[in-house]
Every structure is written in structure tokens, then in C-alpha cells.
Amino acid sequence: MRLLDTSTLTLHEFFGDTIPNYAILSHRWEGGEVTFQDLQAGRAPGMKGFPKIKGCCAQAVADGFLYAWVDSCCIDKTSSAELSEAINSMFHWYERSQVCYVYLSDVSTGLNWDSHQRQDSELRLSKWWTRGWTLQELIGPLVVIFYDRAWMEIGTKKWMEILISSITGISCQHLRDYADASVAQKMSWASKRETTRVEDRAYSLMGLFSVHMPPLYGEGMMAFRRLQLEILARSEDESLFAWTENLWRPSGLLAHSPSEFAGSGDIVRRDYDPNRPPFAMTNKGLRMESFLVPTGYGFWAPLNCARKHGQVALFVWQPPDIVWTGEEHHANENTFNREGYLGSIDRHPPKTFIRTVLLVRQEKAWSSSLNLTPSGPLNFSMRTNSLLQHGFTDFQEGFNECCQYQLTTRDVAEYGEGQEKRRIVLDSGDFVCLKFRSRTYNSLSTLPPRDERDSFVIVLSTGIRDTVSVDILITHENQLLEEDVKKLLHNTWEWQGRLDRISKTMKSGRSVSAALRSKARLGEPCYVLDITFDPEGKLTWPDPDLS
């Protein structure tokens, strides 16, 4: 471990029991940071980041420390071996420090305590609270002191714990001692924090979970999967699986990023099935034994963790080609998929529940280049003139009451001009069902019997990396068929991102087609959805000029 002499600002190396007492700096990396090479070459005094190091050492001298540690200049980042050792040791270095100085470069000096407590205060809005690496720097050290940009003391972690708790969502109890926090709670603390490199979202959490693994920059979100597997190998805390995904697809038991634990801060460990055998990761998915509670077209699989209102459970279901046959299969292994949301059940399992061996399949593609963070809302303009000309009503917005899960539009805007009748805004991972129904059957405007009227549902879906899809479901007069909904929910991930045009024939023999194409409006990407009606039923695909 290299330490900075607080008087001479020279580096000294120590090992094991020879490491002296030291102060440690927590800060946000900005432009002009002083590196190990800069300090050795004598370039540091002229660099933008040097006053920060000088201020840290001056404060350490005032507090009686001969040495200080600063991550920017005490690690030779050109050495992959040294960088790996530092990343794996950093939490321990912060934890064993005598004091941690938090330098907030974006907080003005001279502000009183009342001003810091305002909702819009610079202290509350400081970017230091949003960085991934600063979480361990807040949690690990016993003594943490906050300073503004002029190195004027704001307060200590202990004195400010109520304010810090309101900013970070970390309870005062866990600010004092994080050891009894569940995995889900620790993940929730990191859920809204960011790092410059995607891999560091995982690497910055290793010390918090007492795990070690070699950093492999370039692996992308695979780093977070490796982190979870390391936690799984060392812990029986099932709150690791208690996360909620914001994308519509089968997920497996491992999350894709800490962001999916944003709503898990209140989940604590509590036994539901204390005799559950150990988990095992196999080539078919994670193997676990669980009681299954039937519900709808799937099952609740309770976890050994809970919220105030009940035991936490995962929703799992078997793929369409695998049929649940009940008690006779309770000793066999059954393959299941998990949907990325949580439920709650009674804390005491009935004696009639069957313990079943589950193989919960992980998502097939874990790509290092896969960006799982929604990039923002997508705009859809709909052209429905063809439908209106043939006696169809405009769509009934928000047609999702028959879907079990509420993934709906965030906003349906006002009518546009010309042919673009509606604009729909969907977030990544959302889908919406839009129902159309015929008022008239022929040119004489005579209504057929209710069970012969044409109706259909357009399903718009947005997937990862801004993929979009459209599907058509032929329905009864007033409702979407339950079996069609189940099929849709089972197969959403199969067609998501693949179908950009489709046509269906209705009971009357007439046909309807839908096609998606992208365009730019005022520099912003958007999609046009053309819905075309053919009374002759001969239209297989939309017109070629729409491709």
C-alpha cells in the first residue's frame, strides 16, 4: 500500500503490519486529476487536481496524521496487477483508515446548517452522492468528515446521519453498522449510483459484500453477473433474487444491474423455508428447491426474505411446451422462467404445499455490449385513416385491463395534424394494447350482430436498445381473449424486436395490416405506425412504399 507523506507529498510503500495510521480522501474525479506518474515526474503542482491533494494533506497534518491515501495518485493504474489488487483491497483500506475526508467540490463554502437541509441545497444535490465508488467510502470508514470546496468542515457522518439517510436511503442503523443489512438492501443503496465505466458498478461493490474477483474491463454487465455469482457462493441470503426488472422479458434469478434493486430497500432476511437445500448454478439455470403456490397461469416461489406486509415471492411459470402435472412431479426437476417482479404471500406455508425442484433459466444473452439502461421514451405516430374510412372507431387508449401486469403508456398526447391521428410515448421495455372495433359492416352502414363485428388489438412493444415491434390480435367484440393474453405474455420476448409488420384476417374475411417504419422529426427519432384495412381480405402486407 502506497501512502502519501502529508508534509513532503512524497510516496512511501508499506506492507502488512507495517502500515501506519493514515487519513484517506473521498472525492469525485474531475478533470486534471494528479496521477501516480504525474506525482513522480514533478508535474503535480501545476495541475488542476493538485490543490485537492494539498488540502487533504494539510487537514491530515492538522489532525496529527503523518500519512494520507488518495486514490488518484497512490495507485499506478498502468499496472494491471496493481490496479486489480487496489480494486479488491480498496474497501478494506477505507475501512481501516482512522478518518475519511469527504471533499465536496460542488458545495459552496460558508453555508450554514439550515441551508444544507433544504431540499434544493447544494449539499443534497452534490454529485458525490451519485457516484458508485463513493458508496464504499461512505459505508466503510468509522469516522467520516465532510468538507466544502474551501475545506471548511460541514459535519461528520455521525452528526449528519439523519440528513445522509434522507439523501441516500440508507438507514441510520446501517450507516453505523452495515453488517446486518440484507443483500437486497445493500444493492438498493447502489441502485441510483453511476460509474464512468459500466464494469465499475460491480467492482465498486465487491468490498461491501466481502467478495473478491479479478476486474476484466471490457466485459460490460457480465461483471455484475460475476459479482452475484460470487455472492451466491458465499451467502445464503435469498434477497439476492428480490429485485424488479423494468423490461418485459423472462429474466432468470440474477439481475442485470444494481438499478433493478431500487425498490428493494425494505427487504430483510426472514425464514420461510429454513430447510431449503443449497442453490446450485447449472448449465440449465439456477437449481433451487421451493414450495410453489399456484396463481393464474404461474406460481409464486417464496424466498427466505420479507417486507412488512408479507413474505417475498418470485413469480415463475413454465414455458408453453412444458406442462405442470402436479404432485406426481414434485421430486423431478422442472424448468421454469421467472418474470422480473416480486409478490407477497402469507408467511406460513400450508401443509399441502409441494416442494419442487426448479431450474430457473437465466436469460440467454448476456452481452458485454448490451445496454440494459432504457435510453428514453420512444415516440409513435399512428396513421389510421384507412380504418376510419371503413367504419372503425379510433382506438380505446389504455386497453390493458385484461393484462395481469400494468405496463402501459406514460403519456398519450393530443391529436396531430393530417394523417397522423395519434402520438404515443412509450418507455423502453413497455408495451400497450390499442383496441379497434368496427361500427359499420358495409356501405349501407348496417350493423351486423354483435358477435360478427370485427375487432382487433394492435400491440406496440419497445425492447432493449430501442427495438420496436408490432403485433395484431383478433378479438371478440368487447374483450381480449384470455388465451391470447397468455400467449402474448409467454411469447413477448420471442417477437420483440423482430416483427415490424404483420397482417391478420378477421372472422368476416376482411384483413388488417400494421407496419412500423422509423423517421426523424426535428432531429429526434420516432416511428410511424401505418394501419391498413382491406375489405377484400387480400392484403398480405402493407404497401411496398411503406417499407
Query: What is the domain partition of the chain in residue ranges?
Result: 2-179, 378-546
Q: Are 200 and 190 in contact (CB under 8 A)?
A: no
| C-alpha–C-alpha distance, residues 141 and 19, integer Å | 16
Amino acid identity of residue 77, one-letter, is K
What global pTM score does this model have? 0.70
Instruction: Show the CA angle centred on residue 325, arms to residues 319 and 331, nearest 5°.
Output: 95
Kindly state the cell numbers that stand for 282: 447449472
**CA separation, residue 85 to residues 59, 93, 229, 316, 479 (Å):** 28, 11, 20, 40, 61
| pLDDT number for residue 386 | 80
Please give the helix or strand (H or E) that residue 24 lies within, else none.
Answer: strand 23-26
For residue 15, list its beta bridge partners: none
Q: Are 425 and 410 in contact (CB under 8 A)?
A: yes
Kindly state the cell numbers that stand for 89: 483491497
| C-alpha–C-alpha distance, residues 505 and 496, integer Å | 22
Q: Are 499 and 469 in contact (CB under 8 A)?
A: yes
Reference 472, options 439, 510, 441; nearest CA is 510
| C-alpha–C-alpha distance, residues 146 and 392, integer Å | 65
For residue 5, list its beta bridge partners: 67
| C-alpha–C-alpha distance, residues 23 and 99, integer Å | 5
Instruction: Report, at the CATH architecture level, how domain 378-546 is classified.
Output: Sandwich (2.60)
Q: Are 242 and 311 in contact (CB under 8 A)?
A: no
Reference 383, options 260, 536, 507, 543; nearest CA is 543
- 10-residue mean pLDDT series, the chain (547 residues): 95 93 96 93 93 96 97 94 95 97 94 90 96 96 96 96 96 95 97 94 96 93 93 93 71 86 93 85 82 76 88 77 44 67 73 73 49 58 79 56 33 36 67 73 47 72 68 65 52 49 82 79 69 79 45
| C-alpha–C-alpha distance, residues 194 and 389, integer Å | 51
| C-alpha–C-alpha distance, residues 307 and 456, integer Å | 41
Q: Are 421 and 397 in contact (CB under 8 A)?
A: no
For residue 437, list its beta bridge partners: 455
299 CB-side CA count, 13 A: 25
| pLDDT number for residue 501 | 78
| C-alpha–C-alpha distance, residues 424 and 528, integer Å | 10
| pLDDT number for residue 26 | 97
